[in-house]
Chain A
């Protein structure tokens, strides 16, 4: 695009701006609603400009507790969800990078069998094995614990495959150079493989964090206590069938707060994330 076509540029930008408006408007509207009182929200039409109850609403949700979910504060919910999302993301990365390392760089009996076993689990989503998994969690007494939230979904065939594909692109000479240089398997992993996988790890972290953050079905089953809920489950519980019974202003606040951490993760990791998807440092 060295030549300039003013009309074309204008149309392109117009379309892009329109797209952003369409995507962003509901979020903006949620934000507007979160700054009004319940009465204003329930009395249509809802104003298009933010109200004056920003500080009151947010501090009430974050520190005061929401009545419909047993007075648990949104702060607790955020903490729970963060623990779970981080646990899932970090756990998945650790487990899958190690299993990919074993599959790619070591020769052991039934290596390919193990690889295919991991591969096959891709075809078994959580929903299929949800009953046995639930039973196991009950037997272990892990209901309403962080471990119960994290462990059953901590293994990831997708991430293992991704790391495997990346490891396969690492030239054999590099592995041999490390061997000649006296790096054992652990050193090779720590000094060569991990630094080279940085961008892949970052990209996976973003994807897996959001995956963990938005989990619905499993947290719904495995948490009963209100103070162990994740933010997504709590949101659902806050909404009653009767409009007047629902604290809409707090629901909106919770919605806004639920969006913030994933956005933060994406924005902060964006540079790494894009590099991980686009190029590999070789």
Chain B
């Protein structure tokens, strides 16, 4: 029913702090766009600017092709679900849901019809006469959703709506929100700091950092091709393993013998030394041919790595000597925390892990599973 367009939107607070530094996003009709990022990255501010609760310092926000910069939240025809639900504590569930409609002068019987319909969809019919404090967290969450849905707005805005629920309920509500959003076909913007929530919900995923957009796209595309080391480490759990490569004096990636090759670490002298000694064990110097000239950081996902106790490594693979520090069995899979290349590498293996702490082994990653980033952290 509506598209949402952000054009170079900025938010500069009175103190001069720039919370949002020029963000452009085009959200297609009926899409669920998830803004994800660490706290303080400006995602909530951006959402509040779309809602009209925060003024826009520069740029333009349009809903349905109409610039809404100067319009208040009421006239923007949006509905918002807040983190703490923000239910009116003195009103019954019914009145909480009806309040927005009443303020818009909707006829009484129409209000009644819509509230009861929405309550039915959300399984709230039995709770209409209760007050918010008599409800459980999940029920409150539902009422907050109901309050948004009942108005039938152009755009839904969600501000970390699941962060106050326990893990099990969160998973359940996540599915419900997704289904509901698809069924209603209302364009939605959803803010979260939980990458799992972001991945599972999004039609369009926006990864933000420090007031800027790092990457926009399909969640799986972003997962498979992170545009930067930030995205790589933020999306996916456990995060992508990142190893810094040092350059030689000529300013190039060391090539040739394994000894002079990739010193992997944090770029620090200590890390370099640690890796220099480990370097001979990298498979026959074949690391470098994988690496683009500009590459300075090497990354691979925990699930793309494997471990081997043997000396031989498959062709066309990177093998990094590592010492197991800890093993975390989670049931269907296990996580190995390894010390390697002066840093910590996490490897996800299926089922039970055979490795034990203090084992010496090698982490093997196939060449096509490697991600390369330049010094600034941009994908190469």
Contacts and interface: CB of A to CB of B under 8 A. Distances in A.
Interface of A: 171, 173-174, 176-183, 187, 191-192, 195-196, 198, 281-282
Given A171-B84, A173-B82, A180 B90 contact: no
Interface in B48-90: 48, 51, 53, 72-74, 78-80, 82-90
A176 B74 contact: no
Given A177-B80, A180-B78, 12 more contacts: A171-B86, A173-B86, A176-B48, A176-B53, A177-B87, A178-B88, A179-B53, A183-B99, A191-B99, A196-B89, A196-B90, A282-B89
A176 B85 CA distance: 11
Contacts of B100: 180-182
Contacts of B85: 173
Contacts of B51: 176, 180
A178 B89 CA distance: 12
B172 interface: no
Contacts of A281: 89-90, 133
Residue of A176, A178, A196 ringed by the most chain B CB atoms within 10 A: A176
B104 interface: yes
Nearest to B75: A182
Looking at chain A's contact residues, is the secondary structure mostly helix, strand, loop, or mixed?
Answer: helix
Interface in B83-117: 83-91, 99-100, 103-104
Contacts of A174: 86, 88
Given A176-B53, A180-B51, A187-B103, A192 B88 contact: yes
Contacts of A178: 88
A181 B103 contact: yes
A179 B82 CA distance: 13
Looking at chain B's contact residues, is the secondary structure mostly helix, strand, loop, or mixed?
Answer: loop
Contacts, number: 60
Nearest to B80: A180
Contacts of B74: 179-182
A222 to B, nearest CB: 40
Nearest to B78: A180
A180 B73 contact: yes
A281 B87 CA distance: 12
A223 B77 CA distance: 59
Contacts of A179: 53, 72-74
A171 to B, nearest CB: 6
Contacts of A282: 89
A198 B89 CA distance: 13
Query: Shortest 9 CB-CB distances between A and B: which pairs?
Result: A181-B100, A182-B103, A173-B86, A177-B86, A182-B74, A195-B90, A173-B82, A180-B80, A180-B73
A133 B44 CA distance: 53
A173 B73 contact: no
Contacts of B82: 173, 176-177
A166 to B, nearest CB: 13
Nearest to A176: B53
A282 B187 CA distance: 32
A195 B147 CA distance: 20
Nearest to B88: A192
Nearest to A183: B103
29 contacts: A173-B83, A173-B84, A173-B86, A176-B48, A176-B51, A176-B73, A176-B80, A176-B86, A177-B82, A177-B147, A178-B88, A179-B72, A179-B73, A180-B53, A180-B78, A180-B79, A180-B80, A180-B100, A181-B103, A182-B100, A182-B104, A183-B99, A183-B103, A187-B103, A191-B88, A191-B99, A195-B91, A198-B90, A281-B133
A174 B88 CA distance: 7
A179 B48 CA distance: 12
A181 B99 contact: yes
Nearest to A194: B90
A281 B134 CA distance: 12
Contacts of A182: 74, 100, 103-104
Nearest to A196: B90
A87 B72 CA distance: 39
Contacts of A177: 80, 82, 86-88, 147
B276 to A, nearest CB: 55
B181 to A, nearest CB: 18
Contacts of B104: 182
A281 B53 CA distance: 26
A282 to B, nearest CB: 5
B67 to A, nearest CB: 19
A47 B135 CA distance: 61
A195 B96 CA distance: 14
Nearest to A197: B90
A183 B291 CA distance: 59
A152 B53 CA distance: 41
A191 B95 CA distance: 11
B92 to A, nearest CB: 12
Interface in B144-182: 147
Contacts of A187: 103
B131 to A, nearest CB: 9
A177 B73 CA distance: 10
Nearest to A187: B103
Nearest to A181: B100
Nearest to B48: A176
Contacts of B88: 174, 177-178, 191-192
A187 B104 CA distance: 12
A180 B100 CA distance: 8
Contacts of A181: 74, 99-100, 103, 147
Contacts of A176: 48, 51, 53, 73, 80, 82, 86
